[in-house]
Amino acid sequence: MINIIPSNILRFLTLILFQVLILNNSNLTPLNITPFVFILFILLLPFETPKWLLLILAFIMGIILDIFSDELGKFSFSLVLVAFLRPSVLNLLSSRDGYRKKTLPNLQDYGWKWFLKYSIILIAIHNVSFYFLEAFQLKYLYVTLFKIILNTFFTTLIIYLIQSFMVRNRHA
């Protein structure tokens, strides 16, 4: 339990650095899509995190990402929305006996089926909000929808890979 705070701070910083320095680099990403791997931070916060803290953390992360993308508001709006809906999504996906104590919402504790459902829903929410805010009109509806689907796919894929890599590391 004591480990949770430093490990989350570390994850916060690593994910932001990874996003800003490597993923945002336009030379790397195929098809012009930047996967939004930073959402993993919100996904992996413990079940017991106070709801208000969820919102505050999401907002801080969003503002930092906004600063690095030269326009304020888009990431912070989308991430706060994700943080707001996370408790409801967790409720929706919980099994009959709810979530066990001392577990985290991750691949290791709840299996790939649950984790994929959980991450796809929240990533899709983020992407719908982000890309519609970016387009700000319905003129490019198909392009926007295409971007949302493609990005959700890639982001989920990378987040899943990171998670499965961590599971294997822990077992070894």
Partner 1 sequence: MQNLFNFILRYHFLILFILLETLSITFIVNTNSEKEKVLLSSANQISGYFYSHFNFVAEYFSLVEMNEMLSKENAQYRNSFVSAYKANIVMKKEVIDEEYQQQYYYISARVINNSINRQHNYITLDKGKKAGIEVGMAVVTGDGIVGVVRDVSENYASVISLLNTKLGVSVKLKKNGYFGSATWSGNDYTSLLVKEIPNHVPIMIGDSIITSGFSTIFPEGILLGTINKFNQEQGSNFYNISIKLSTNFKTLSYVYVIGDLLKKERLELESVEE
The footprint of partner 1 (CB under 8 A) covers 20-22, 24-29, 32-34, 51-52, 55-56, 59, 62, 66-74, 76-77, 80-81, 84, 133-136, 140, 143
Residue pair 151/129 in contact by the 8 Å Cβ criterion: no
Q: Which is nearer to partner 1, 95 or 142 (CB)?
A: 142
Q: Which is nearer to partner 1, 22 or 161 (CB)?
A: 22
In the complex, what is the shortest distance from the CB of residue 77 to partner 1, in angstroms, rounded to a whole number?
Answer: 4
In the complex, what is the shortest distance from the CB of residue 152 to partner 1, in angstroms, rounded to a whole number?
Answer: 15
Residue pair 154/35 in contact by the 8 Å Cβ criterion: yes
Q: Which is nearer to partner 1, 20 or 167 (CB)?
A: 20
* C-alpha–C-alpha distance, residues 47 and 34, integer Å: 28
In the complex, what is the shortest distance from the CB of residue 60 to partner 1, in angstroms, rounded to a whole number?
Answer: 10
Cβ atoms within 10 Å of 169's Cβ, excluding its own:
8
Q: Which is nearer to partner 1, 4 or 53 (CB)?
A: 53
Q: Which residues contact residue 136 at a Cβ distance below 8 angstroms, ignoring those fewer than 6 apart?
A: none
Of residues 119, 125, 122, 129, the one with CA closest to residue 161: 119
